[in-house]
Structure 1
Amino acid sequence: MDMEPAQMGSIRAVYLTTGIWFYWSIVLLSIIGILTAYTSLLLVLGFLLVWEGNKLYLHWCHKILILLVTVVSVTLLWILCKFWKDKWLILGLSLKIFAPYWHLTCITLMVIFSWPVSYYFVQLEGEARYRRYMMSYYNREKHKRCHILKRLKALQMVVGLPFIVVLLFLYVVPVGIHSPCIQDKEDLGPKPTFFGHRGAPMVGPENTMMSFERAVEQGASGLESDIHISFDSVPFLMHDHDLKRTTDIHEVMPSATFNRCEGFTWDFLSTLNAGKWFLKPQDKPFYRMKSLSEADNERARNQKIPQLRNLLDLAQKEKKFVIFDLPAPPPKHPQRNTYVRLVVSVILDSKIEPHLIFWLPSFDRDYVKLMAPGFQQVGRLETLDELSKENIRIINVDYKELFYNGLRDYKAANITINLYIVNKPWLFSLAWCSRIHSVTTDNIELLSQIDHPHFFMTPRYYMFIWLLIDAISAVLISAIFSFHWC
């Protein structure tokens, strides 16, 4: 279960899936870094010149350039923050896993930086000693030389004090690090199970029977999809509101390319091809997808839009759970107000075991509870009081929202949690260490190969590494300062 279909158009879905925004953000961030570094260099240079008593004779073009670079940097940073909001959240979330390793890396960098810092610090001390020595011979310049000594001491403080403060902070920062993957082995929960996000969309066209069958082959315990209702009341599987991205509607009926998919009858929808797009290089939904065999290419090329009934038959046969989004049909649709009841009727008629249905849609939930008490009711990221009021013990949530809104409370209340969309091994490891029950993923094949959380370590082992690195770095930094002092 990803975002509500209304929140993600077909074109934007492709962009987010392929990661184009991510790479453009990296380019933008690099430009900002270069411009900021240039501006900072000019400002530092200007400050040092003023410190030495020099006047800044800037040409008008220099002033305009500095102002322009500053404005451009701020503007680009604002654009990046606006379009990379989720990436910043992911960056912050990654610290739950990588904080211990960043700590060790920062300690190593401080050892490396100690060489130029100690060299410059000792040079300033040598200059200060020389000035004090010369003062005894030139009493008439004593006042001026005292002023120079104060400036040298100030520079020493500017160079040495921040270094010492940062170093001491890094030495004790592990006290405040609480990574879920730092725990005793016996406290580690079971490996999360998988829901195939629209099947297995890296090895088959999403929301087709090929995709769902491949998800079953790869070990999915559940299948995720999105259901729409045709104009003649047939529930079918499709994520987007229109048919442009994942069918050949633009070839069959170009004038209807952007029409709502619920506006077509099933007789027409069943004739569309739902797999050829997957084989086009420019339409690949993921980077670094493995090449398919010729047999799989041919199979993908002939995929059609499936009905909900097809998915239910597969789930019943393989004993797999089914979870789905169910957006409301557009106004004037025959099933506008009864679409939930239609879907419930189709599910019950399929004879699938009721407990295999994870019912997520919130509209008309009371009717669903009455007619299908065996369905497992699933909520979203609601308060515990709201979940308790609806007697819901399972939630399906975006991993970013959950980790930033209080995972501990839901775990304490014994709420079963499914996270979406989890594709990266480090994120899956975080979910595993956090005792998450299941994840919705595009990449079952990769995650199923993980037999132990990445970046996992016991508290004793981390403490040993922490103290060892601190001790070694203290010895090395002391030796470097001693070397330059001598």
Structure 2
Amino acid sequence: MLCQVCLCCLFFSRGFYSCRWTESNNQNRKGRWLSLLVVTLMSLLSLCWLYICFAISNDQQNVNEVLFSKLKKWANYFLVVVIISAVLASYCILLLLFALIQVALEEQLHLHWLHKIIFCFCVIFITALASGVSTKGPEEWPTVLTLLQATAPFLQFGAVGALTLLSPFVFHRFHLAKTRSKMVIAGMFLAVSAAIFLCPLLIHSPCLIEVQELPEKPKLIGHRGAPMLAPENTMMSFNRSLECGVIAFETDVQLSKNRTPFLMHDHGPDFLLRTTNVNSSSFNNSADLTFEQLRTLNAGEQFLKNDPYGTVSLLSEEEKETVRKQTIPSLLDLLDFAKQHNTSVIFDLKNKETEKNDTNDTVKTILESGIPQNLIFWLPSKERSVVKEQAPGFIHVYENETDLEKNNGSHLNVKYSEIKMKNISDLRKRNITVNLYVVNERWLFSMLWCAGASSVTTNACHLLKEMERPDWVMPRSTYLITWILVDISSALVMMALFHWTKHNLRHNADGPSNDNEQEVFLTRLP
């Protein structure tokens, strides 16, 4: 029965790997191990890229918006990249599995030319995308390091398990090798094992704390409202974010031709294409249109058409009808709504080239609205001194630690990837309010929660509000004990496997019918 299973495994692994259904007479061992090395490296490369995609998924909307600005057509480009990456990773891992089966059964490895072509495509695909991230979004790389902090303890346990499972193949090769080769194999295996076993010494995650030391849950700020539940920067969106219990509305302000502040993120050429029913590129900036003209545009149909977050199906028919009626709101509309619900407002001025004039008109609108000044978080950095004179009650928020220290500020608003976790904790100990943006994924919110963030700006307020605690919190002492026990268990299992493979090879070599059994096994292959 066992022999039949081996026969079946070998049949399919040989067919998938090399598209050969019979044994080859070529006994080139160097070629076999080189082929295995290539497949292993490609599996690691594809897995690493898939891991990077998982990290970047928090900012997938940014990726889609950037590509929309280039291609002028909306699609979930990031999802396409993830699907292709997942397919390539699955393909490489399956190929590696079949390669290990053939090695275990002493079969030669002949990598088919089709696999080589796919490998070349995989390398080009990953290299091109990684280059694109480095060029257009270098701030994403720190996110990968943050994800490592979140997953490192579990990755280490998984790496120990994988090392243990693969060790019989290494031991088998070791026992068959000559003295010089044995030294190389032993050295490499011991080096990799030491790195995997001891890497927890370098793991420092903010969630490795006692449960009673867990900081208060970060408050939520609605990024352009609740854009997963309603069209961004519309009154429906801000109303939906209010249902999430947000403490502030985050938005973007531009000024129209007749100097009326209104809410819209996109600016410059084609600023209306993504979020309104304008299909032409005849308007280059907000100053081309009066607010009365802007108000006539539909700000909801594109949300239903593009379904940017894949959430339209969650809306009722009544909610979809409300979406279709959305228009571009003025800043005054939002201020009145915020005043009514005693909710703060934080915004940025999008037209940097006219920010001085925009600042004056915006401050004037805020003061005329009658909203309490302490509900306004003032973020724009230019003309800050003038704003302090005109509206001394505004709460000033700074975009980096340097400006915060220079102005003796108490509020910091920074992208989560631009600040170290330890710095968050240190700032909070000094009673500095730290807001991080834009946080959408549970794992990232959990990390920032453990680190002590005061609040986060999010697209997913309806999801984060349901979290009662971080995804995981583990006392460091518990982690250290688990780490040591896992390493010891793995070492003991590998020692047993080392002696087992040695004994098995010696037994097969000494067996009188070994050659005959091998001949019988091979003749049964197709």
TM-score, length-scaled by structure 2:
0.72
1:108-123 correspondence runs (5 A) = 108-123=161-176
Instruction: Decide which of 321, 327, 331 is 2:344's aligned counterpart.
Output: 321
Whether the 8 Å CA contact 2:424–2:452 is kept in 1: the answer is no
Whether the 8 Å CA contact 1:398–1:421 is kept in 2: the answer is yes
1:253-292 correspondence runs (5 A) = 254=280, 256=282, 258-280=283-305, 283-287=306-310, 290-292=313-315
Q: How many Å separate the matches in 2 of 1:457 and 1:402? A: 23
2:435 corresponds to: 418
What is the SS of the residue equivalent to 1:325? Answer: strand
User: Partner letter of residue 362 of structure 2?
Assistant: V
Give the drift of 1:467.
1.8
Change over 3 Å in CA distance of 1:446–1:294 after alignment to 2: same
2:368 corresponds to: 349
What is the SS of the residue equivalent to 1:306? Answer: coil
Change over 3 Å in CA distance of 1:433–1:359 after alignment to 2: same
1:66-465 correspondence runs (5 A) = 76-85=125-134, 86=137, 87-124=140-177, 152-241=178-267, 242-250=271-279, 254=280, 256=282, 258-280=283-305, 283-287=306-310, 290-328=313-351, 337-383=356-402, 386-403=403-420, 407=424, 410-411=427-428, 413-465=430-482
Q: How many Å separate the matches in 1 of 2:275 and 2:369? A: 26
Q: How many Å separate the matches in 1 of 2:195 and 2:457? A: 39
What is the SS of the residue equivalent to 1:196? Answer: strand
Give the drift of 1:159.
2.2
Q: How many Å separate the matches in 2 of 1:9 and 1:76? A: 19
Report sequence identity in percent.
36
Whether the 8 Å CA contact 1:225–1:325 is kept in 2: the answer is yes
Report how many residues are paired: 420
Instruction: Decide which of 62, 84, 103 is 1:27's aligned counterpart.
Output: 84
Whether the 8 Å CA contact 2:410–2:432 is kept in 1: the answer is yes
Whether the 8 Å CA contact 1:419–1:439 is kept in 2: the answer is yes
Q: How many Å separate the matches in 1 of 2:86 and 2:471? A: 28
For structure 2, which runs of at least 5 residues remain unmatched after alignment? 1-58, 96-112, 504-526
What is the SS of the residue equivalent to 1:463? Answer: helix
Deviations 1:412-436 (A, max 9, x none): 6543211111000000001101101
Report which stretch shifted further, 207-216 or 172-181: 172-181
Whether the 8 Å CA contact 2:356–2:383 is kept in 1: the answer is no
Q: How many Å separate the matches in 2 of 1:440 and 1:15? A: 27
Give the drift of 1:403.
3.1
Q: How many Å separate the matches in 2 of 1:15 and 1:443? A: 26
TM-score, length-scaled by structure 1:
0.78
Q: Greater RCO between the two (CA within 8 Å, min separation 6)?
A: 1
Deviations 1:54-104 (A, max 9, x none): xxxxxxxx9xx99x9999777555422221335543222201110000010
CA RMSD in angstroms comes to 3.5
What is the SS of the residue equivalent to 1:203? Answer: coil
Report which stretch shifted further, 430-439 or 374-383: 374-383
What is the SS of the residue equivalent to 2:328? Answer: coil
Change over 3 Å in CA distance of 1:285–1:402 after alignment to 2: same
Deviations 1:87-132 (A, max 9, x none): 54322220111000001000111110112112222333xxxxxxxx
